[in-house]
């Protein structure tokens, strides 16, 4: 569970290229309010953004990579004259994953599937 979420985020970063760093995680959390026997991992990486046509090209590259991983993709585009671009995905080795290709900052955030495990015990192991 932890390994799969880290692996897919790090390989996603490689697919787009650039100098990525860990922003958060992998952190363990419960799979719902008051649930102590089910856990999931969240992992976030980020890098400086890009300008010009590069964000659109990077979104296409991410979609191609995720499709190859069995992750169903949906493109994201904010409103306005200069929309922010991104990609959302689900399936494959993770529950959800998001790629934001914003000019100031790129980010990839993934959440693993829920599995048996006591959150407190897993936190002690970190």
pTM listed for this prediction? 0.85
Give 19-78 pLDDT, tens digit per residue: 999 999 788 877 766 666 777 888 999 999 887 679 999 999 999 999 999 999 999 988
Q: Say how far apart CA 64 and CA 28 lie, in whole Å.
A: 29
Q: Give percent of the chain with pLDDT exceeding 70.
A: 86
DSSP state letter for 18: S
Angle at 104 between CA 99 and CA 110, to 5 degrees: 20
Give the domains, in start order, of the chain with CATH numbers. Answer: 2-125 (3.30.2030.30)
Q: Say how far apart CA 78 and CA 3 lie, in whole Å.
A: 32
């Amino acid at each position: 569970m932890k390994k799969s979420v880290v692996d897919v985020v790090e390989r996603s970063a490689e697919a787009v290229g650039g100098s990525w760093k860990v922003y958060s995680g992998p952190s363990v959390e419960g799979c719902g309010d008051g649930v102590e026997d089910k856990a999931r991992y969240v992992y976030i990486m980020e890098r400086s953004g890009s300008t010009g046509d590069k964000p659109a090209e990077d979104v296409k590259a991410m979609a191609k990579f995720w499709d190859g991983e069995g992750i169903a993709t949906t493109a994201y585009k904010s409103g306005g004259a200069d929309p922010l671009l991104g990609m959302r995905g689900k399936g494959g080795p993770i529950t959800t994953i998001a790629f934001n290709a914003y000019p100031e900052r790129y980010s990839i955030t993934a959440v693993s599937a829920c599995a048996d495990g006591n959150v407190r015990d897993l936190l002690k192991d970190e």
